[in-house]
Structure 1
Amino acid sequence: MSETASFGYRDVEAAEKQGMVRAVFSNVASRYDLMNDAMSGGAHRLWKDQFVNRVKPHRDERILDMAGGTGDIAFRLHRHGAQVTVSDINPEMLAVGVERAKKKGLEGLIWSEQNAEELSFADRAFDAYTIAFGIRNVTHVDRALREAHRVLKFGGRFFCLEFSTTTWPGFSDVYDVYSHRLVPRLGKLLADDEDSYRYLVESIRRFPPMPAFERMIRDAGFVQTKVEPILGGLVAIHSGWKI
């Protein structure tokens, strides 16, 4: 039997998922940041600030920001003086990031179209690897994690910001109603794309819960792994070290 992968609530041929995800983000690239604000009430900005504070970027260290798309994490890392390579599988998302960087007058960022499962970078090339709200869209998450481990130097650190499943009683029910009923409607209203945002919501529900994803990070070779839940696990910061 052929291998399958989840695409929202559907199971599709694994070989097809990458193209389907790419189409989603091509559709939403120009409105991606607007929709993030609308869906989270602007809270995603605070989550990203907290994420970068945990990364503790240093001046002149090399950081790979995978699925970096429109540059939100990269710009924050860059402010600390880090040498940031922004990578994404989607050229439309990267184009939005490049344009945003120009408007902000930011120079020195490297923009690179990459597949998280098959990075073109050399072994032990980076001091840190970051990925925010992107790993759940990867077809083979285990391969992406192994690639993250490969390109990190010994002593390098891995940080992932991703949606998860909140454990707060009551809040999870409210969020389910909001995400399944209102987010697709917001997508239709603000981006004229209800289906793409329905997929984004469904992809969160299919992503492994926090303990399971932490085990995947350890299985990829990372040690001293840690999970920091936000809003009871609605969002979580995962981290690990390569030694």
Structure 2
Amino acid sequence: MSEQPGHDQVSFGYEEVSPEEKTRRVGAVFSSVAKKYDVMNDAMSVGMHRLWKDRFVKRVRPREGEQILDMAGGTGDIAFRMAERGASVTVSDINQDMLDVGIERAMERGLDTLVWSRQNAETLTFGDRFFDAYTIAFGIRNVTRIDLALAEAYRVLRHGGRFFCLEFSTTEWPGFKEVYDAYSHRLVPKIGQAIAGDAESYRYLIESIRRFPPMKEFEGMIRKAGFVHTKVEPILGGLVAIHSGWKI
């Protein structure tokens, strides 16, 4: 009997699949693109992802002595920025290939203070109330069960801890949305094929953006997980957004 879309199904791009199948397919996507991931980010965003990440870390305000969990942080982009500010950062990712790229990049930088840990965002192995901050950049839309990941983020944060998420969303700027939709659907897979030899993985990544909840809906999910003083900061009209909340 074939599976029918329902409450036990989750989205993989525009498909409905079982949670186990999504986890497997997302793993395959990121294993495929790991070595070219940062090059592709530059190509797809015309380098703007670097500015977005700088802005994100500025909002997090990492401080010396803090324990910060950077989830889905495989290649180290966010962690390197936070470590420069003196924070003790644990970089976690479900995909070992992504972590391997990050470890190699850290070694090239002579940065040996980071902790690298393979983790599933939905079932973290860290103890309760362990971290001062939890960050996740361009990763939560690929989590199979976002509600479980948010619940785990809340659990591992200390009281007074802060949650920050950088993620693509849907721009509300008239005209720009249509231009970006055309660019992303038509050109990004071709760029992925040219640079990484993989059009399908990048087609999924674009589709996953389209299926991600709108900004206000995702903010509601963050509040439902227990966070308070939630905030959404749109960038480029909401093409990208910084979400935040506090555990008190």
**1:227, 1:87 → 2: CA distance?**
24
Q: After superposition, where does 1:54-93 map in structure 2 within 5 Å?
A: 54-93=59-98
Counterparts of 2:74 and 2:44 in 1: how far apart (Å)?
18
2: CA distance between counterparts of 1:205 and 1:11? 14
Which is worse superposed, 110-119 or 9-18?
A: 9-18
Matched to 1:82, the amino acid is A
The residue number in structure 1 matching 2:160 is 155
What is the 5 A alignment of 1:42-121? 42-121=47-126
CA deviation after TM superposition for structure 1 residue 12, in Å: 0.7
1:19 aligns with 2:24: yes
Q: Which 4+ runs in 1 deviate beyond 2 A? A: none
RMSD: 0.7
Q: Structure 1: how far apart are the matches of 2:127 and 2:18?
A: 30
- CA offset digits 1:120-175 (Å, max 9, x no partner): 00000000000000000001000000000000000000000000000000000000
Provide the C-alpha distance between the structure 2 equivalents of 1:89 and 1:171, rounded to a whole number of angstroms. Answer: 34
In structure 1, what residue type is equivalent to 2:98?
M
Equivalent in 185, 197, 205 of residue 180 of structure 1 = 185
Distance in 1 (CA, whole Å) between partners of 2:204 and 2:51 is: 24
Q: How far apart, in 2, do the equivalents of 1:208 and 1:180 lie?
A: 18
Alpha-carbon separation, structure 2, partners of 1:12 and 1:126: 33
CA distance in 2, matches of 1:20, 1:203: 12
Aligned partners of 2:41 and 2:106: how far apart in 1? 18
Whole-Å separation in 2 of the counterparts to 1:153 and 1:78: 20
Worse-superposed segment, 154-163 or 13-22? 13-22
Q: Which 5+ residue runs of structure 1 have no aligned equivalent?
A: none
Counterpart of 1:145 in structure 2 is 150
1:30 matched residue in structure 2: 35
Deviation for aligned residue 1:16: 1.1
Q: CA shift at 1:209, angstroms?
A: 0.2
Compute the TM-score of the two structures, normalised by the length of structure 1: 0.99
Q: Aligned to 2:171, what secondary structure does the other structure show?
A: coil
Gaps of 5+ in 2: none
Matches within 5 A, 1:192-207: 192-207=197-212
* Counterparts of 1:184 and 1:123, CA distance in 2: 41
Match status 1:125 vs 2:102: no
Deviations 1:181-232 (A, max 9, x none): 0000000000000000000000000000000000000000000000000000
Distance 1:232 1:104 in 2: 35
* Offset of residue 13 of structure 1: 1.2
CA displacement, residues 4-25 of structure 1 (integer Å, 9 cap, x when unaligned): 0100011111221101100000
Aligned equivalent of 1:210, options 209, 212, 215 = 215
Code of the aligned partner of 1:195: E
Query: AA paired with 2:74?
Result: G
Structure 2 SS opposite 1:119: coil
Q: Which amino acid aligns with 2:19?
A: A
1:164 to 159, 163, 169: 169
Q: Output the CA distance in 2 between the equivalents of 1:184 and 1:10.
A: 17
- Partner secondary structure for residue 127 of structure 1: strand
Report sequence identity in percent: 70
